[in-house]
Chains A and B, each alone.
Chain A
Amino acid sequence: MIVDLTKMHTGESGVIEDIHGGHGVISRLQSMGIRPGKKMTKVSSHFWRGPQTIKIDKLRLAIGFGMAKKIFINVKR
């Protein structure tokens, strides 16, 4: 099933399905290695709509809550 990044469980893995948003956001995320087709794992989620941290390959990234809402991941549940 497909969920946005904020709905993923901590420790859960999945494949990035789609990123919504303007060209600016998409290309910025993509240049940092966050793009459709990549496998990723959610590391943590901070309180009160705080940043979400993820792991892609050996990369660790922190993404603000609002931006994380626009990243959709295919997870096995």
Chain B
Amino acid sequence: MKDICRILLMGNPNVGKSAIFSRLTGARIVISNYPGTTVEFTQGQIKIGSQRPMVIDVPGTYTLEPTCKAEEVAVQMLKTGDLVVNVVNATNLERNLYLTFQLLEKNIPVIVALNMWDETKHQGIHIDVKKLEEKLEVPVVPTCGLTGEGIKELVDRFPDVEPLKIKPSTDSEKWERIGDIVEEVQKLTHHHHTLLERLEELSIKPFTGIIIGIAIIYSSFWAIRFIGEGLITYMFEPLFEKGWLPLMNKLSAFLGEQNFLHTVLIGNLIESEINFGQSFGLLTTGLFVPIAMVLPYIFSFYLILGILEDFGYLPRLAVLVDNLMHHLGLHGFAIIPMMLGLGCNVPGALAIRILEGRREKFIAATLMAVAIPCMAQIAMIIGLVGQRGGKYLAIVFGTLFLLLIIKGLIFNKVLKGASPEILIEIPPYRLPQLMAVFKKLWMRLYGFLKEALPFVLLGILFVNILHTLKVIEFFSNIFAPVLSGLWGLPKEAISALIVGFLRKDIAVGMLGPLNLTTKQLVIGSTILAIYFPCIATFVVLIRELGIKDMCKSAIIMVVLAILVGVVLNLIL
């Protein structure tokens, strides 16, 4: 056997490649129960004897003739591998073997991981592994990625793998051979429908599906709010008020007011007291906003999303909303990037890859960037606007929602081409495993803290410096006609718009100290959501859409922000 340097994990979507990858490398990656979770390849190292080859988790693909960007990535990766671990869903042997044969014909070494082995037992499927191995002429190892069963055996057999010399065959020849093999190695026995299976059917039938869908969405939002608010009120606010404030008061007294260091670290005293929401020092607002105001909501959102993902609900939601999404120039599957975007626009923007065409991607990206605020921003809007009354929250989110619909309708009419048809596999429901849910939640929380904290702190530092240098004053005078004239905001609000390029949460927070009227606050936070994505999202979108489409999208955003601001200013 020659040295193995790069091992590719390949297979159909949603067969558990990422779970096996995580088992092999110990790396933390997002694993969910829907096709298209992994859109970019992830790599990690494993140790086999004295070798340390790279393992690459390749996005799922049904065929080596790519039909979307994620599949293209998969096919390109194939050329770079020395060994392919073909992950096969054991409960769908026939369909999965099609890709296996395509891989075998590429004459590179292939080993088959017969994954989800545990599920075959519940479903009355019996597979003769030995016989399958004889038929395919490559090693076949039953595995269960989630529990780790069979992973060691899989690695142990890597050295046995040799490339086959198979002549290319036509599709019908492939299916014929697959048919014969499945006939010989697989036996099905009758099994009783479980409660989950009944629920599966009910949730994709139109009437019951819509009722279940509304119930799930409603209770999800309720739970996110309940958990988020609870954490803030009973945990994080007391923590800051009782634990951190006394320390900060001492520091403030020690530094003495009216000097640069005090301004940077503590910020301005509001009525000669530190105000975590409005002081805008690095150690006060800089920590309070991301940790006490935003983190609780990030926690509750990703907890609920993680449960829905692992349960396998999202593809069903995609089917239910397919019809509505067609009117917006998209199809149902686009609901998945949108849902991810509610957490953070960056993974949302990445997930746009699961959509097929340039038109769809453009629509989805522009809709998301304008009308889907991320959870950090939502938390801040709830915190700030919510104080003035629930009605005003409804105005902000209602405006964004209306904008989403109207813009989608217009795009669908104006942009040439039709929205492609939905074609997705609906995975079975699986009861989420507590450990897996919390592992994923922890990964996302860690990701948030790692990305958000530095940017929030940087944003605050940046604004303090700009203030001291009078740069903000300069810009606020330039933009005063738009800000005051069109939107009715004080010209100082420009600082929020500037910081909004860095982070939207802290930008909304900057509206706090401006003593805005309720109307101004509503207009300000709505515009902050619309006018431009944060820098992190922007960078991803440039990569996914290309510079040209992104510029078009950006122009639309700015124009919409101006329009919506004017309209709200007139009607409120």
Contact = CB atoms under 8 A, between A and B. Distances in A.
A binds B: yes
Contact of A50 (B92, B322, B424, B427): B322
A2 B137 CA distance: 40
Nearest to B426: A60
B426 A62 contact: yes
Contact of A32 (B200, B201, B423, B427): B423
B67 A59 contact: no
A44 B209 contact: yes
A71 to B, nearest CB: 11
A16 to B, nearest CB: 12
A67 B423 contact: yes
Given A43-B204, A46-B320, A64-B331, 19 more contacts: A31-B62, A31-B65, A32-B62, A32-B425, A33-B94, A33-B98, A44-B204, A44-B206, A50-B206, A53-B319, A58-B91, A58-B123, A58-B428, A59-B95, A60-B425, A60-B427, A63-B421, A63-B422, A67-B423
Interface residues of A, number: 32
28 contacts: A27-B63, A27-B171, A28-B67, A28-B423, A30-B175, A31-B62, A31-B63, A33-B94, A44-B201, A44-B206, A46-B209, A46-B319, A51-B332, A53-B204, A53-B319, A57-B92, A58-B123, A58-B125, A59-B92, A60-B200, A60-B426, A60-B427, A60-B428, A61-B426, A62-B332, A62-B423, A63-B423, A64-B322
Interface in B331-373: 331-332
Binding site secondary structure of chain A:
mixed
Interface string B65-102: 10100000000000000000000000110110011000
Of A27, A50, A67, most B-chain CB atoms within 10 Å: A50
Of B123, B320, B322, B420, most A-chain CB atoms within 10 Å: B322
A24 interface: yes
B323 interface: yes
Nearest to B179: A37
Contacts of A32: 62, 95, 423, 425
Interface of B: 62-63, 65, 67, 91-92, 94-95, 98-99, 123, 125, 171, 175, 200-201, 204-206, 209, 315, 318-320, 322-323, 331-332, 420-428
B359 to A, nearest CB: 16
Interface of A: 10, 24, 27-33, 35, 37, 43-51, 53, 57-67
Contacts of B94: 33, 57
Nearest to A53: B204
Of B63, B65, B315, B423, most A-chain CB atoms within 10 Å: B423
A14 B241 CA distance: 67
B425 to A, nearest CB: 5
A15 B209 CA distance: 26
Contact of A66 (B91, B206, B421, B428): B421
Contacts of B322: 46, 50-51, 62, 64
B204 A62 contact: yes
B319 A29 contact: no
A28 B421 contact: no
Contacts of A67: 421, 423
B63 A28 contact: yes
A48 B323 contact: yes
Contacts of B422: 51, 62-64
B323 A50 contact: yes
Contacts of B315: 62
A30 B171 contact: yes
A26 to B, nearest CB: 9
A44 B421 contact: no
B204 A28 contact: no
Contacts of A53: 204, 319, 426
Contacts of B98: 30-31, 33
Given A50-B206, A60-B425, A60-B426, A27 B65 contact: yes
Nearest to B119: A58
A63 B323 CA distance: 12
Contacts of A57: 92, 94-95
